[in-house]
Structure 1
Amino acid sequence: MGSRGNWLSWSPEFLKLFVWPLPVVCYRRQVGREPTGFPQHRYSPRTTEDGRYSPDLMKKTLFLYRLLFTAFCLLGVLTSFPVWAQNLPEFVPVTPIILDNGLTVILRENHTAPVATMRIYVRTGSIYEQEYLGSGISHLFEHLISGGSTSTRSEEETRAILDSIGGASNAYTTKDHTAFFVTTSSDHFDTVIELMADWMQNSTFPPNEFDREWGVVQRELEQDENDPESVLYDLASANMFRVHPEKYPVIGHKEILQRLTREDVIKYYKRMYSPDNMIVVAVGDFNKEEVLEKIKKAFQNFKRQSIPPITLPEEPLQISKRVVVKGMDVQVALARMDFRTVDLLHPDLYPLDVLDFILSHGESSRLVREIKDAQQLVYSLSTFSYTPHYRPGNFTVSISLDPANLEKAQNAILSELYRLKTELVTEQELQKAKKQKISEYISGLQTVESQASDLGINMLGALDPNFSQKYVENIQKVTAEDIRRVVHKYFFEDNLSVTMIVPKAVEEAKQQKPEEKITPSPIRKVVLDNGMVLLTRRNPGVPLVSLQAYFKGGLMVENEKNNGISNFTAQMLLKGTKTRTALDIASFFDSIGGGIEAGSGNNTFSVSAAVLSADFDSALEVVADVIQNPTFPEEEMEKLRKVILAEIKRIDETWESESETFFRRNFFAKSPYRYLSIGLEETVSGFTRKDLQGFYQAFCVPNNLVLAVFGDIDPVHVEELVKKEFSGFEKNPSLKFPEVPEEPPLEKSREVRKTTEKTVSAIYLGYPGMDLYNVKDRDAITVLDAIISGIGYPSGWLHNELRGRQLVYVVHAYNFA
């Protein structure tokens, strides 16, 4: 988490940023960066950067992730690869430009939309802090520089400039670099160049800003101490590395951080913020020759500094298995199993990355199918292969589970991994993983921001901005024998580090390419004979299709006796039909590099899918099948029940989910919104197959369904296909919704408190508001939210005032209609 000087203005200029493309959530490998979901990077508290999503397992994010493939160009390249591997996007290779002062500049034109982004990467991550190791001074710098005062302008003047151009600005810090970035409409890009050049050269760190951000970072550090996954990440780093500075958290240790002074900051700034220690990347709707001249002018007075040579100590070879256990106030155990592997430029990088996909990407993957579904030893499981440029990498298996299953689950996982020493992965598994890597690669290059990030991270890690394309090409060369070889080489007990977060009681007992600009078509609405509403929109900008099927339901049709039934029923739709098993459904979407998900909210429950446009027809058939023909298998129902109950137990583990739940249950007196869509332990425990079938028959009917199909489609073809696939879906003329209890008026203010052992306090202030249909007031209060708290970004007068006085780390406002 990170900078405070990041502003978002909801001006018409800013709205240009969202003309193209559609939203994306994807997994994206970047050079030398750990996969998302692990808190290596310190970000602004209310924004994400390049696929950094909240690791909180309780947060059910909207399934919007998009998979992408490029148009087939029929060029005879990569002829030894499968057909789908011959159609990678062809970006014109970029050549780094080194200015006279040593500044590296990388430019790429992208005229898809009138948007441009600029990023500056500084080699000042936590591993390079020298005498300040463990202090998190690089991360503190990120807070101070991004949007802070310079010798040219004040913090307030910077904020006003960003507001006026609608600039989306943020920064983050990792183990090996700090990055600053601003995205805006291309007609304001000159301002961005001048502004960011000013930050890099002329920051002054006024005492009041230093004191404020020094305090803010400490509050952030205290917040992380209550996050089990953040604790697990830092604990695993310290477990794997006893000598290398990788062992230090990016944010630092509190006792060392507290010793930092403003004089330390100025000294470090003069030492490390030198042009020959930076990379400037710009991507967008501009002429690169003109932008290069403007960058040269903006940095012309930036002189080289004498940067001391930094030699990172080599981590000694690990000679035996390491195990570290920490007790926390949790109900569900978390564990990581880390094998030390290779750095970024080692050829074994490629089979390790393919193995990662074979093991855990998709419900039909090896470990998910065997450990999670068949043996039911874990609630969740993922793997990743992290290979940075500055140290040996690690191949990790990460799990959440019942503490009682810790030993059994680890043994079962090792058994599955060691099997790969004697048997080859199948050709089907190999090809599926490679196709998923192609989809992942293309998905991550849809926006100017993601392209700039790709170029910058490639240059930092591999000294080659075009490395990613070479990476994907080498992935296609991996064989089954290569995978067996790396398993033999790196997967053995003396090379294993195990790190666990367990309930305190358990621990105590144990101790005892650029495209033409494309405009999407208008949304087309069709009502079918059975009452089903079909919405279509053609957007040929990317060859992807998103299907969203929404039923009216969710909390609004629930009460204290059946809370959670919408969520349970929705998820069971994917667990088997009359002609397909749960594994069949998962395997289908895995095999095409797509995805499907189901869930529930306040007013709806849904089934969502995202696929390549070439696979739309077959994907629609499967989606129609799960909606119309679910069988609610008892065995699958019991598996799902265990997972949901585990998530319910974890609600109070983090202060965010605990405080929100406490607020809702006390603010609403009669409304079903006082509940969470996941349900209550007593209701979820008691649901029967008959209950779910009854709910399905009542509300999963066509006259209660809106199906939206957006993307690279022919709306007429989609309409014909939908009519065909849903021809047997009969409307329910007696569809009726339960009456929602009227919420009594709040006649006077009331206050409720809950005392916990967490070191973070949370305050919710709620006022009776409007219903969903009051569009005029909803729009007005959305604007008010932007003014008060910046909606999704760290800004707004309430944020600035409270955080400026070091009273809060995060402050949010939202409208619950």
Structure 2
Amino acid sequence: MNQLHSTSPAAPDQLSLPPNAAQFHTLNNGLEVILLEDHAHPLASVQFWVKAGSLHEEKWTGAGLAHLVEHMFFKGTTTRTASQISQEIQARGGYVNAYTTFERTVYWIEGVAEQVDGYLGILSDMARNSNFDAGELVKEQEVIRREFAMDNDDPQSALQHLLQQTAFREHPLRHPIIGHLEVFNQVGREDVVHFVNRHYVPNNCFLVITGAIDSATIMESVEKHYGTWQRRPYEPVMMPDEPDQVATRQAKREFATDIARLSLGWQVPGDSHPDKPALDVLGFILGSGRSSRLNLLLREELGIAHWVGAGAWSALDRGLFAVEAECDPEDLAQVEEAISKIIQTAREEGCKPDELDKAVRTTLSHQLRTRSTTRGMASSLAHSWMSVGNLNHDRAYLERISTLTVADIVQVARKYLVPETLSRVSIHPTGTLEKTTGIATTHTREEIQSFTLSNGLTLLVGENPRLPLVSVRTQFLSGVPSETSETGGVTQITAQLLAKGAGKRSAEQIGALLEDRGGSLQSSADVHRLFVGSDVMKGDEELAMGLIADLLTVPTFPVKSLATLKKRQIASIREEMEDPLTVALRRARKEIFAGLSYERTAMGTIESVQALDVDACKTHFQQTVQGKNGVISVFGDVKAEEVREQVARLFSPIPPGTSHRDQYAPLTPTAEPSRHELTLDKEQGVLVVGFPTVGLEHDLAPVLHLIDEACSDMGSRLFNRIREEMGLAYYVGTQAFHALGAGAFYFYVGTDPAKLDLVETELLKEVADLAANGLQPDEMERAKTTWKSSYLRGQQGNGALADAFGWQQLNGRGYQHQLIQPEIISSITPEQVKAAAAIFFSTKPFVVRVKP
């Protein structure tokens, strides 16, 4: 690989990707198999890729047939029922899911490595023996109709679909993957079976298996389960020619939203085209990260956009380069004008050499982080193979980017970002188009070491030399319990304001410092914490810690940035008000915790955020960022003693202060159960049934977590009864909310509004049965196994570890609690579950329903 800058202390030629030891095999029937052994974690990912997606539906293009087939694969085979599929996977510690894109359908199981043979057998059974029961098909089509309703309620989906149908006239990329409801309603069982027989053949599929496996043993399993699958003739689907675009296209539509959304799209070539790396770099420079050109101008300098981004997405043969923005309706014209100026500058100047360097570093950093999980490694290998037929595509792609020049960036900007090939689409709040325009609407982890610094700050260090990556997390107790109804949302605003200026650095300099070296900075908050963190490559950890220390010791709290952040947070609050499930859960929480701190959310309210000023943020910061009230975690390729010296030196200015743990004393909700009917301009109906429970420190919290696990899986009693047997819902599940000192448990269903009464009756029957009888032994075992697998997946990656262990230390249970959680869950008995269910679910519930 070419060296970009010889003076760079961590140039890509010094920090390269670990060797790719993937193996490739082809069975006699044409099925391709990719294997990668990685024994860092006792986990494995098994992925079955079918080279067929929504682009391959031929006469049924626009029906969502590929997506329907994906759903039907979980509905039973000649040897297993639908519930047996999900329960067998769960019993083996696996998590199963699937997705459909324009060009592929992927079924994957992630779980413990010793169960790979079982995972392969189940996926093989689904691929070869699915029976596509006519009755199940009718029920699943009704489920997907609820998904159509969800899609129709999402303004971002509406914008994306509008861009696709505007930019493409003949190519099937103009249709959404889910399809069009009118065409979907005409699909029958014979069409599903024909699609499967046409595309689901071994010579049009491949397997990817990564993790703690033995390749020889796994190949024996693959041969056993897939070797007798018969090769069949396969004629690839030919894509229609897309006419050349010779003039700008435009489309606008109204939507039930308070936020305007804009998308500018240009047709570009596919993944394997030589121009794709330069287009990706151009998208990165324009719209990726705090220091991107769009973000700096539209969000930081002008404060007119709530969100802005850019990038190229492609199918194999073609795609779009898109610039998107969200803003208040009155700012849309100014946003579009500012974007146009930035595009024109890119056409004239391209990029700077340091921006190219940053793109290479960030790409390398992303590739390294992808390799930190078994699923990430499998997906990366599979995507490389699917796109270009080269398992080393990540290396080759990085090499191509590293050889780009400024002239290359100018060349693709001038070639593709031209008015003749522009498609401009926008989404506007209902009623505004007529008023304003008159236009009609259309591994093995090392032992963690703990230190207490002189100012009371706790330091946790986890040495993990597996990959040259380092994650830093600083956390301070804060959030909802430290706020009032007048200052709600101040923790979120304060955390974000820290990154807008510190010492002599501006927001732009702060954003660029780590991003230019392939790293990232996070500064945010949640219900309990204010946290600042970073993820960097080895050699940049002291730079990252120094930046974080500046943010926490010499913040400048710029007034101009505060106004922009408040505007953005208010926009996020309004967006939450557009999602029916979020609206229902928020209302249930407000009623359950009426009069208590947890009736509020970390976002605050529009009124409380509008009232915040710099003095309120400074006061909150001073009360929060205190040594005895915080934890810093450093995990990755580091040495503990070196980190200890660095942290002690850099973070010593933080005053000792006091711990805020006394603010989180157990709370006792006193509100009486109630019912509430809400209306939204949406198509869905949502039901939430809630109960007050206990805080995360309570002995019964793990029991409730296990109940949540048992009731949220695709094999759960709720899923099987309400979604599968009765076909009443698109989604159904539970949510265990455990805060410090208080908690709640929610049962929720998304359904046809006309069926809300029936859904409520059936859901309450299931809750009553749970309260009376607890969980069955098989449910208990599946839930424990699934919980353990999920816990192990959560231990992958330095950032996840630094966050999890730091949080356990911060909340008072000690970082060791993260290690003993599996033992706690494993020891839970059926009697404990039955007793807890009787305590919490036998009372009258809080009920919230949302209708159109």
**TM-score of the pair, normalised by structure 1:** 0.86
CA distance in 2, matches of 1:446, 1:121: 21
Match 1:403 to one of 329, 339, 349: 329
CA distance in 2, matches of 1:371, 1:673: 34
Match 2:147 to one of 209, 217, 220: 220
**In the alignment, which residue of structure 2 is the partner of 1:731?**
656
**In the alignment, which residue of structure 2 is the partner of 1:133?**
61
Is 2:685 the counterpart of 1:761? yes
Compute the displacement of 1:93 (Å).
6.1
Asked if the contact 2:83/2:720 (under 8 Å) is kept, the reply is no
**In the alignment, which residue of structure 2 is the partner of 1:816?**
737
Residues 184, 687 of structure 1: alpha-carbon distance in 2 compared, 3 angstrom cutoff? closer
Q: Residues 207-248 of structure 1: CA distance to partner in whole angstroms, max 9, x if unpaired?
A: 332222121111111111001111111111111111011111
Asked if the contact 2:4/2:11 (under 8 Å) is kept, the reply is no
CA distance in 2, matches of 1:744, 1:78: 63
Match 1:777 to one of 681, 694, 700: 700
Residues 394, 537 of structure 1: alpha-carbon distance in 2 compared, 3 angstrom cutoff? same
Q: Residues 411-436 of structure 1: CA distance to partner in whole angstroms, max 9, x if unpaired?
A: 22111111223324222222112211
Compute the displacement of 1:593 (Å).
1.6
Is 2:384 the counterpart of 1:446? no
Is 2:80 the counterpart of 1:153? yes
**In the alignment, which residue of structure 2 is the partner of 1:30?**
none
Residues 377, 156 of structure 1: alpha-carbon distance in 2 compared, 3 angstrom cutoff? closer
Residues 716, 256 of structure 1: alpha-carbon distance in 2 compared, 3 angstrom cutoff? same
Report SS of the residue matched to 1:420.
helix
Compute the displacement of 1:738 (Å).
6.3
CA distance in 2, matches of 1:731, 1:542: 34
Structure with bigger strand share is 2
Compute the displacement of 1:657 (Å).
2.6
Letter in 2 for 1:721: Q
Match 1:106 to one of 25, 31, 34: 34
Is 2:401 the counterpart of 1:480? no
CA distance in 2, matches of 1:735, 1:80: 48
Q: Report matched runs for 1:487-506 at 5 Å.
A: 487-506=413-432
Is 2:712 the counterpart of 1:789? yes
Report SS of the residue matched to 1:393.
strand
Asked if the contact 1:670/1:743 (under 8 Å) is kept, the reply is no
Residues 90, 689 of structure 1: alpha-carbon distance in 2 compared, 3 angstrom cutoff? closer
**In the alignment, which residue of structure 1 is the partner of 2:473?**
548
**In the alignment, which residue of structure 1 is the partner of 2:591?**
666
CA distance in 2, matches of 1:603, 1:166: 31
Match 1:366 to one of 293, 315, 324: 293
CA distance in 1, matches of 2:660, 2:396: 56
Asked if the contact 1:670/1:741 (under 8 Å) is kept, the reply is no
Letter in 1 for 2:50: V
Q: Report matched runs for 1:529-608 at 5 Å.
A: 529-608=454-533
Count of residue pairs the alignment pairs up: 729
Match 2:720 to one of 796, 800, 804: 800
**In the alignment, which residue of structure 2 is the partner of 1:305?**
232
Asked if the contact 2:287/2:295 (under 8 Å) is kept, the reply is yes
CA distance in 2, matches of 1:231, 1:301: 44
Match 1:692 to one of 585, 610, 617: 617
Letter in 2 for 1:307: Y
Asked if the contact 2:245/2:420 (under 8 Å) is kept, the reply is yes
CA distance in 2, matches of 1:735, 1:657: 29
Match 2:17 to one of 89, 92, 99: 89
Match 2:643 to one of 677, 698, 718: 718
Compute the displacement of 1:500 (Å).
1.0
Report SS of the residue matched to 2:153.
coil
Match 2:131 to one of 198, 204, 221: 204
Compute the displacement of 1:406 (Å).
1.9
Mark the runs of 5 or more structure 2 residues left unpaired by the alignment. 739-852
Letter in 1 for 2:599: R
Compute the displacement of 1:102 (Å).
2.2
**In the alignment, which residue of structure 2 is the partner of 1:284?**
211
Report SS of the residue matched to 1:84.
coil
Asked if the contact 2:478/2:528 (under 8 Å) is kept, the reply is yes
Residues 627, 194 of structure 1: alpha-carbon distance in 2 compared, 3 angstrom cutoff? same
Aligned-pair identity (%): 28
Report SS of the residue matched to 1:813.
strand
Q: Residues 444-502 of structure 1: CA distance to partner in whole angstroms, max 9, x if unpaired?
A: 22222222222222222212233222111111110001111111111111110111111
Q: Which moved more, 1:322-331 or 1:538-547?
A: 538-547
Mark the runs of 5 or more structure 1 residues left unpaired by the alignment. 1-76, 513-517
Is 2:43 the counterpart of 1:115? yes
Residues 164, 688 of structure 1: alpha-carbon distance in 2 compared, 3 angstrom cutoff? closer
Is 2:98 the counterpart of 1:178? no
CA distance in 2, matches of 1:94, 1:547: 31
Compute the displacement of 1:622 (Å).
1.2
**In the alignment, which residue of structure 2 is the partner of 1:273?**
200
Asked if the contact 2:360/2:518 (under 8 Å) is kept, the reply is no
Letter in 1 for 2:26: I
Is 2:350 the counterpart of 1:413? no
Residues 511, 307 of structure 1: alpha-carbon distance in 2 compared, 3 angstrom cutoff? farther
CA distance in 1, matches of 2:407, 2:235: 44
**In the alignment, which residue of structure 2 is the partner of 1:64?**
none
Residues 579, 196 of structure 1: alpha-carbon distance in 2 compared, 3 angstrom cutoff? same
Letter in 2 for 1:385: A
CA distance in 2, matches of 1:603, 1:634: 25
Structure with bigger helix share is 2
Residues 153, 661 of structure 1: alpha-carbon distance in 2 compared, 3 angstrom cutoff? closer
Q: Report matched runs for 1:376-395 at 5 Å.
A: 376-390=303-317, 392-395=318-321
**TM-score of the pair, normalised by structure 2:** 0.82
**In the alignment, which residue of structure 2 is the partner of 1:43?**
none
Letter in 1 for 2:371: L
**In the alignment, which residue of structure 2 is the partner of 1:678?**
603
Report SS of the residue matched to 2:321.
strand
Compute the displacement of 1:523 (Å).
2.6
Letter in 2 for 1:345: S
Letter in 2 for 1:674: E
- Larger relative contact order (CA 8 Å, sep ≥ 6): 1
Match 2:281 to one of 351, 354, 362: 354
Letter in 2 for 1:781: L
CA distance in 2, matches of 1:593, 1:763: 44
Asked if the contact 1:672/1:740 (under 8 Å) is kept, the reply is no
CA distance in 2, matches of 1:308, 1:597: 49
Q: Residues 660-703 of structure 1: CA distance to partner in whole angstroms, max 9, x if unpaired?
A: 22222222211121112112222222222222222222222212
Letter in 1 for 2:361: K
Report SS of the residue matched to 2:685.
coil
Match 1:471 to one of 397, 402, 405: 397
Match 2:259 to one of 332, 338, 347: 332
Residues 105, 93 of structure 1: alpha-carbon distance in 2 compared, 3 angstrom cutoff? same
